[in-house]
Homo-oligomer: A and B are copies of this chain.
């Protein structure tokens, strides 16, 4: 079964970004959102995203708006869809209700893929008519620019459904990884949480302020992480002996350092301090201009990674 029509459930930032990507690859997209203003928001985001998408792959000059429709209900959007991309709020009761409504019209072979960053497919699919086609397909924000899609099946997910999902996202030039276990944060957000915990701890302990922590990442190890992950970095740092040499000789220094890392408490006082430090570092910076610069830089970085895959 090939994916042609996609129902996007939720017309917020994530849903609109997915919709732009799907539309750019020739799919028919039906967005479900009860809020009337969602349509204008999505159309504007798709218009803004189009030139960026055009830099990353060969797409039509303009969106084929005839392939895009808006619906007040999930049931209406899911009719005749091959895949439903859930972009609703991350609450299990809401997700289960969304899935239940989707199943009233979604063809039995269609996939139900949730963008959830915090819920488990096993919990979402509990009580479903066809739990076997329910899975997590978690993107990083914004999905049309950051290639990673994490796939996670639940206890009742069919391997065949996971395989079809992987083939679909791969067909959009996404980089898919499959988590072998359902755990909070899947894979990527476990890693971001681990980094963030120490980023907060360094401020809490007075080692550096918010702006210096951020600069230390973005002008230091963050530049390497845009190109390769930590395992490969340490392999290359291991010299001719590679990763084994690194682990056997410098692994113990990592373990020592782990002992000194902290788990800060997010107290109101610490929150106040971090917000004040961050705001001070952004004084005079326009939020929308910053977002545009970030997206332009992400597009340039994604192109760089296409040209120079490490």
Interface string of A266-310 (1 = CB under 8 A from B): 100001001100110110000100110110111011101101111
Q: Judge whether B308 and A293 touch: CB under 8 Å.
A: yes
CA distance A271 to B281 in the complex (A): 41
Distance of A4 from chain B, by nearest CB (Å): 26
Is there a chain B Cβ closer than 8 Å to A36's Cβ? no
B196 x A216 contact (CB < 8 A): no
Residue pair B244, A199 in contact (C-beta under 8 Å): no
Q: Given A148-B215, A183-B207, A215-B177, does the pair A229, B236 have CB atoms closer than 8 Å?
A: no
Let me know if A55 is at the binding interface, CB within 8 A.
no
Residues of the B chain whose Cβ atoms lie less than 8 Å from the Cβ of A108: none
Please determine whether A274 and B243 come into contact, CB atoms closer than 8 angstroms. Answer: yes
Mark out the residues of chain A between 221 and 279 whose CB falls within 8 Å of any chain B CB in the assembled complex.
Answer: 221-232, 234-237, 242-244, 247-248, 251-258, 260-261, 263, 266, 271, 274-275, 278-279
A219 at the interface (CB under 8 A from B): yes
> Is B220 a contact partner of A207 (Cβ separation < 8 A)?
no
For chain A, residues 153 to 183, give those with C-beta under 8 angstroms from any C-beta of chain B.
Answer: 175, 177-181, 183
Q: A85-123 interface mask toward B, CB cutoff 8 Å, 1 = contact, 0 = none?
A: 000000000000000000000000000000000100000
Among residues of B, the one whose C-beta sits closest to the C-beta of A291 is: B236
* Chain B residues, CB < 8 A from A300: 304, 307-308
Q: Does A61 contact B (CB under 8 A)?
A: no
Whether, in the assembled complex, A185 has its beta carbon less than 8 Å from a beta carbon of chain B, the answer is: yes
CA distance A274 to B220 in the complex (A): 25
User: For the complex formed by this chain, how many copies does it contain in all?
Assistant: 2
**Dominant secondary structure of chain A at its interface with chain B:** helix
Contacts of A232 in B (CB 8 A): 214, 278, 281-282
Structural contact, A208 and B187, CB atoms closer than 8 A: yes
Determine the residue in chain B with the shortest Cβ distance to A196. Answer: B230
The answer, yes or no, to whether A130 is at the interface (CB within 8 Å) is no
A231 to B226: give the CA distance in the assembly, Å.
17
Complex: chain B residue closest to A118, CB-CB: B253
> Would you call A179 and B208 a contact (CB within 8 A)?
yes
A205 within 8 A of B: yes
Residue of B nearest to A251 (CB): B266
Chain B residues lying within 8 Å of A45, measured Cβ to Cβ, are: none
Q: A147-B220, A251-B271 are in contact. List 10 more A-B contacts (CB 8 A).
A: A177-B216, A183-B207, A194-B194, A195-B221, A197-B254, A199-B229, A218-B226, A218-B305, A225-B226, A297-B304
Q: Interface on A for B, CB 8 Å cutoff?
A: 118, 140-141, 146-148, 150, 175, 177-181, 183-185, 187-199, 202, 205-208, 210-232, 234-237, 242-244, 247-248, 251-258, 260-261, 263, 266, 271, 274-275, 278-279, 281-282, 287, 290-291, 293-294, 296-298, 300-302, 304-305, 307-310
